[in-house]
Amino acid sequence: MEQRLSLITLGVTDLHRAHAFYERLGWHGQEVQETVFFQAGGLAVSLWARDKLAADLGISNPAADGFGGVALAHNVRSPTEVDEILVAARDAGATITRAAGETFYGGYAGAFCDLDGHAWEIAYNPGFALADDGTITLPDFSAT
């Protein structure tokens, strides 16, 4: 697993309120399918409903599991890499919370929690350009 972050997702209780808050801070985001994406240097920050984020990560009882509403994502270049990283994480002691599989956005992803319960998604997303240096560039969602 390369040492980098691709995406940080913040689970929010009110998407429109959170989006407006970040816009007031000077961030410019694009809302797509009930998710707001902000380009933040070489990575992205997204806002998504907290309950949907927990469900997507395979965390069934967020309150009991200590889920803090934040997910770190590591995007990769192929579905095979997703599988390899999930195996390595499991072998290192992580708890696989969602087995790798096809996603609603046309990619392939799985998720795990590290030894302290921090949630990670490992994802192949053909819609997010991943440069050789590991930075991602969000697509222009307004063109779709």
Q: What is the DSSP string of 113-127?
A: E-TT--EEEEEE-TT
Tens-place pLDDT, residues 6-33: 999 999 999 999 999 999 999 999 999 9
**Residue 16: its H or E element:** helix 15-24
The pLDDT assigned to 143 comes to: 66
Options 3.10.180.10, 3.30.70.100, 3.40.190.80, 3.10.129.10; CATH for 7-143 is 3.10.180.10
Backbone φ and ψ of 117, nearest 5°: 90, 10
Instruction: Give residue 67's pLDDT.
Output: 79
Measured between alpha carbons, how far is 104 from 79 in angstroms, rounded to an integer?
15
Domains of the chain by residue range:
7-143
Segment 71-112, tens digit of pLDDT: 999 999 999 999 999 999 999 999 999 999 999 889 999 999
* Model confidence at 60: pLDDT above 90: no
Nearest residue to 109 (alpha-carbon basis) of 120, 117, 119, 121: 121
Between residues 61 and 90, which one has the greater pLDDT?
90
Spatial CB neighbours of 76, under 8 Å, sequence gap ≥ 6: 82, 85, 122, 123, 124, 130
Output the furthest CA–CA distance in the chain (Å, rounded).
43
CA–CA distances in Å: residue 88 to residues 56, 83, 106: 21, 9, 24
